[in-house]
Amino acid sequence: MSTEKNREFMKSNFAESVHQRSDQTKGLPFPPLQKEIPAGASLSVNLPDPDPGLIIKSDFFQLIQERESRRQYTPESISMTELSFLLYTTQGVKEVVGEGYATRRPVPSAGARHPFETYLALNRVEDLTPGIYRYLPLNHQLLFLEETDQLPDLLATANLGQRFVGQAAGVFIWSCIPYRAEWRYMDHGHKNMLLDAGHICQNLYLAAEALGLGTCAIGAYDQAAMDALLELDGVDEYVVYLAPVGKIPQEPV
């Protein structure tokens, strides 16, 4: 793609598309709010309810001031309750609305389409086998997908040598299912999907900071390698953003 095309892509084309008929307008069925659970899926893990009692930094201004990208993590594990809190604050479902075609979540999304799935590459979460998982936001559960050998090395390579990604307790990986937004917005949904993704990661930054954990947005990754890690087809679903999470070294007093 050329620079010119990319610059155009950043602009809004909503006004040009007012006369087009979307699949929603044509009455076509809405796409599932959550990717289906494959037949024979091995294990769904119930997550504990998100617990605001975990928050150690609750002053909003302090939270905003102290948020930063953190790239150093200790070898400690994070707990299931911490993981649950981070998943809920990024992609949890508060309510299903619009006769079942939309959800309300802790982050905004154009048309409440929420066109993402959250995968987790977990190295160290208490009580969980290391491996690849998918969050089921409608159920607040985790679907175990597979154990993966050499996950830290695979993640480092798939993130273009950024070794700290593989060293985190876990990595949040957001894929996009574009049709979820295209069903309503056709060709003017794509810019908004990327804007939506930014909101998710910002909530992760703030939620991690509130719990005394660290994270760092990652946009520099190998597309084919990350899609292959999650067995995504790269057309109807592909990775758009990711962020490692872990405990952070204590700052000297």
Ligand X SMILES: Cc1cc2nc3c(=O)[nH]c(=O)nc-3n(C[C@H](O)[C@H](O)[C@H](O)COP(=O)(O)O)c2cc1C
With binding defined as CB under 6 A, does residue 66 bind ligand X?
no
Q: How far is the CB of 218 from ligand X (least distance, A)?
A: 4
Nearer to ligand X, 142 or 206 (CB): 206
With binding defined as CB under 6 A, does residue 215 bind ligand X?
no
Nearer to ligand X, 158 or 218 (CB): 218
With binding defined as CB under 6 A, does residue 216 bind ligand X?
yes
Q: How far is the CB of 165 from ligand X (least distance, A)?
A: 8
Nearer to ligand X, 138 or 220 (CB): 220
Q: Strands, E, within 20-107: which ranges? A: 43-46, 95-97, 102-104
Q: What is the number of the residue whose Cβ is closest to ligand X?
A: 219
User: How many angstroms separate the CA atoms of 223 and 34, rounded?
Assistant: 22
What token pair was written down for 175? 């894929």
What are the beta bridge partners of residue 132? 121, 146
With binding defined as CB under 6 A, does residue 181 bind ligand X?
no
Applying CB under 6 A, among 51, 59, 68, 231 the residue interacting with ligand X is 68
Nearer to ligand X, 75 or 219 (CB): 219
Instruction: Tell me which stretch binds ligand X (CB under 6 A): 32-40, 148-156, 168-176, 218-226.
Output: 218-226
Question: Do residues 137 and 91 make contact, with C-beta atoms less than 8 angstroms apart?
Answer: yes
User: How many angstroms separate the CA atoms of 30 and 130, rounded?
Assistant: 34
With binding defined as CB under 6 A, does residue 156 bind ligand X?
no
Using the 8-state DSSP alphabet, how is residue 56 labeled?
S
With binding defined as CB under 6 A, does residue 219 bind ligand X?
yes
With binding defined as CB under 6 A, does residue 223 bind ligand X?
no
Using the 8-state DSSP alphabet, how is residue 19 labeled?
T
Nearer to ligand X, 101 or 119 (CB): 119
With binding defined as CB under 6 A, does residue 217 bind ligand X?
yes
Using the 8-state DSSP alphabet, how is residue 4 labeled?
H
Applying CB under 6 A, among 65, 69, 129, 223 the residue interacting with ligand X is 69
User: How many angstroms separate the CA atoms of 163 and 168, rounded?
Assistant: 9
With binding defined as CB under 6 A, does residue 239 bind ligand X?
no
Instruction: Tell me which stretch binds ligand X (CB under 6 A): 24-32, 35-43, 213-221, 223-231.
Output: 213-221
Q: 74-78: which pairs have CB atoms within 8 A and are 24 or more residues apart?
A: 74/246, 74/247, 74/248, 74/249, 75/124, 76/124, 76/169, 76/246, 76/247, 77/124, 77/125, 77/126, 77/169, 78/124, 78/125, 78/126, 78/169, 78/170, 78/213, 78/245, 78/246, 78/247
